[in-house]
Structure 1
Amino acid sequence: MKIAVLLGGISREREISLRSGKRIAQALRNFGHQVDEIDVNFENFDSLIWTKELRNYDVAFNILHGTFGEDGHVQSILDALQIPYTGSGVEASVIAFDKYLCNLYVQDITAVPEFILLSKEEFEQGKNVLQNIEIPCVIKPRKEGSSIGTHICFSKEELLENLKKEFEKYDEMLVQRYVKGTEVTVSIIDIDGIPTVLPILELRPKKLFYDYEAKYTDGMTEFVIPAEIGEEMTEVVKDNALKIYRKLGCKHFARVDGIVSDGKFYFLEVNTLPGMTELSDLPMSAKAYGLTFEELVNRIANEAFKNPPFKKFK
């Protein structure tokens, strides 16, 4: 196939997208595909759309992490151009990238730590929205990836300081109850159109939690696969993750993150375009399942070609 790997992008996760995309492109070439790497940015975006350059490809392998690439924007453009692409469609991408919406969407399936949505305006007006928040708590941007802007706060002073800092960049923050436990991530891929749960990965970061540095720095996290959470909890986590994947309407590949604590699985987030670097979680789970990295990305590309996220125009 002739495949365009869309990488780079305009978000704060640009460097991770470049790392993921270059690795994917090489793997696809190793499998015999004709591959072009397209660094999507402000300079070339109009040209890509209006010249319909992307229509020259059988598949667009989208690995644009974060804002614009993962939040439904690129997906809606590729839908309009009728270009088969990897990953979830517009609706699933919009919901999954919006942590507030996603929490509301899945809380009938699994436990979600209690949360409130706080706006910059509310914070600056000094309303007493924080007085009933339980400490410790977690704050995170409503729409962001790779744990960027996420903090665990162990005092009201720390909470106020971190909110003030993050409201310089974001308009809305999620404030959520902190759950201490075993961090796990569940990767799911489509195999012949059927969502298949890969072995659960347990994360043991050497920092307080699995933040940006722990995710992308060699040696900062110990990975345990399969996760040491017991057979019964393993089935619960797999079942919940699969239900979430299906309810959102995810396609081709995705990752569900959570915490196991006191015999319960707590949902944290869904990543519809998980990282594919040499340290990323999904490739590790795929390897434990029996798939090489080349086999994994080839399977994803073929799934996208056979079963794109959109309905074809008649």
Structure 2
Amino acid sequence: MKNVAIIMGGYSSEYKISLTSGNVVFNNINRAKFNPYRIHIFKEKWVYVNENNSEFPIDKSDFSVTINDSKINFDVVFNAIHGTPGEDGLMQAYFELLNIPQTSCDYYQAALTFNKRDMLSVLKPYGIKTAESYYLNLGDEINVDTILAKVGLPCFVKPNKSGSSFGISKVKTREEFLPAIENAYKEDDEIIIESFLDGTEVSVGVINYKGTVTVLPITEIVSENDFFDYEAKYLGKSKEITPARISEELKIKIETVAKRAYEVLKMKGFSRSEFIIVNNEPYMLEMNTIPGLTTESILPQQAREAGISLPELFENAIELALKK
């Protein structure tokens, strides 16, 4: 029996969603093969949490836990932390140093994809289309006319490194522009401002399933809000339609681009990329390497549509990590 540490929580605004994802993994792990342990990772504490919600501190020197004088080591880590330090490469590098396999991509891929600006720059030479964009760092002079001349209105102002749509605004008028920048700076000291792409939004899960890079059924996102924001993602203010209502030709085009991005970046584990379709062409917005794993989340919906149950999805991730 392999000991599996399911890490959840994290240091960002996404910690609550991560705890939900982590508990879904915990409840859907095949206990005939694995002993799952819930590990909460917070700035102030790293702890193992047992069934009675008692906490036992993690020894960071070797990522072990001691319970009733017996020391437990972990064979593999299931990473369910959205945002920092689980999705930006920090945990990946730590586990690599300790030589403990983990289910997400490697540290460089995590750091690169977590940085929206850098990831899109790396993918552009491979023919992957992106929105017109403008970059700002905290302290930069903000010349509103220059920026809007490049990206136009409406536009999106986003923190460069954050998830779950925290800090994102859709800006329709010049007056809304500076407050949107302030809002984004609350989440990150780097900002990406993108032109508004008027089209159908789709979300594409790509995973390595049993050794083969597999594009899951595509999800179409119809948001009741102005865009697929936090409320739309988690509070039911959107319709997610899997499979998406698109032509076979467009489906193949999107699958090809999503798979190419996964392979170009040498991804492992789960990934979920967001695209907007304009004039039958997919434009990439971002890639998540620790997508939500709650029962309502998009990737589990897509897996279900592909005939992969949650226990199968999670077992596959653990088995692939152990083989690495």
TM-score category, normalised to shorter length? over 0.9
1:156 aligns with 174
What is the Cα deviation at residue 162 of structure 1? Answer: 1.1
Alignment size in residue pairs: 305
- Could you say if the C-alpha distance between residues 22 and 135 of structure 1 is closer, same or farther in structure 2, counting changes exceeding 3 Å? same
Instruction: Give the distance between the partners of 2:138 and 2:144, measured in 1 at CA.
Output: 11
Greater fraction of residues in strand: 2
What is the Cα deviation at residue 29 of structure 1? Answer: 4.6
Instruction: Give the distance between the partners of 2:260 and 2:60, measured in 1 at CA.
Output: 35
SS in 2 for 1:84: coil
Match of 1:284 among 270, 276, 301: 301
RMSD: 1.8
- The amino acid across from 2:84 in the alignment is T
The percent identity for this pair of structures is: 32
Unpaired stretches in structure 2, ≥5 consecutive residues: 47-56, 66-71
SS in 1 for 2:139: helix
Instruction: Give the distance between the partners of 1:187 and 1:280, measured in 2 at CA.
Output: 11
Asked whether 1:249 is paired with 2:266, we answer yes
Give yes or no for contact 2:272–2:291 (8 Å, CA) kept in 1.
Answer: yes
2:290 aligns with 273
What is the Cα deviation at residue 128 of structure 1? Answer: 5.6
Instruction: Give the distance between the partners of 2:32 and 2:105, measured in 1 at CA.
Output: 23
Instruction: Give the distance between the partners of 1:75 and 1:294, measured in 2 at CA.
Output: 23
1:53 aligns with 64
- Could you say if the C-alpha distance between residues 199 and 141 of structure 1 is closer, same or farther in structure 2, counting changes exceeding 3 Å? same
Superposition pairs of residues 107-126 of structure 1, within 5 angstroms: 107-108=124-125, 109-123=127-141
Instruction: Give the distance between the partners of 2:216 and 2:186, measured in 1 at CA.
Output: 39
Superposition pairs of residues 79-158 of structure 1, within 5 angstroms: 79-108=96-125, 109-123=127-141, 129-132=146-149, 133-158=151-176
Unpaired stretches in structure 1, ≥5 consecutive residues: 308-314
Match of 2:315 among 275, 290, 298: 298
200-209 vs 233-242, greater mean Cα deviation: 200-209
- Could you say if the C-alpha distance between residues 70 and 49 of structure 1 is closer, same or farther in structure 2, counting changes exceeding 3 Å? same
Give yes or no for contact 2:162–2:188 (8 Å, CA) kept in 1.
Answer: no
What is the Cα deviation at residue 52 of structure 1? Answer: 3.5
- The amino acid across from 1:163 in the alignment is I
What is the Cα deviation at residue 249 of structure 1? Answer: 1.2
Greater fraction of residues in helix: 1
1:310 aligns with none
Instruction: Give the distance between the partners of 2:129 and 2:217, measured in 1 at CA.
Output: 21
- Could you say if the C-alpha distance between residues 68 and 87 of structure 1 is closer, same or farther in structure 2, counting changes exceeding 3 Å? same
Query: TM-score when scaled to structure 1?
Result: 0.92
Give yes or no for contact 1:87–1:252 (8 Å, CA) kept in 2.
Answer: yes
Instruction: Give the distance between the partners of 1:169 and 1:241, measured in 2 at CA.
Output: 27
Give yes or no for contact 1:3–1:34 (8 Å, CA) kept in 2.
Answer: yes
Deviations 1:260-291 (CA, angstroms, capped at 9, x unpaired):
12111110101011000121110010001001
SS in 2 for 1:176: strand
Give yes or no for contact 1:21–1:37 (8 Å, CA) kept in 2.
Answer: yes
SS in 1 for 2:140: helix
Asked whether 1:20 is paired with 2:21, we answer yes
What is the Cα deviation at residue 116 of structure 1? Answer: 1.2
- Could you say if the C-alpha distance between residues 127 and 234 of structure 1 is closer, same or farther in structure 2, counting changes exceeding 3 Å? closer
Give yes or no for contact 1:138–1:153 (8 Å, CA) kept in 2.
Answer: yes
Give yes or no for contact 1:215–1:279 (8 Å, CA) kept in 2.
Answer: no
2:199 aligns with 181
1:312 aligns with none
Match of 2:239 among 207, 215, 222: 222
Give yes or no for contact 1:186–1:200 (8 Å, CA) kept in 2.
Answer: yes
Deviations 1:59-89 (CA, angstroms, capped at 9, x unpaired):
1001111021100111100000000101100
Give yes or no for contact 1:115–1:174 (8 Å, CA) kept in 2.
Answer: yes
Instruction: Give the distance between the partners of 1:101 and 1:56, measured in 2 at CA.
Output: 36
- Could you say if the C-alpha distance between residues 221 and 169 of structure 1 is closer, same or farther in structure 2, counting changes exceeding 3 Å? closer
Instruction: Give the distance between the partners of 2:170 and 2:254, measured in 1 at CA.
Output: 24
Asked whether 1:210 is paired with 2:240, we answer no
What is the Cα deviation at residue 51 of structure 1? Answer: 4.4
Instruction: Give the distance between the partners of 2:308 and 2:176, measured in 1 at CA.
Output: 44
Instruction: Give the distance between the partners of 1:40 and 1:88, measured in 2 at CA.
Output: 19
Instruction: Give the distance between the partners of 2:190 and 2:88, measured in 1 at CA.
Output: 16
| Structure number with higher relative contact order (C-alpha < 8 Å, ≥ 6 residues apart) | 1
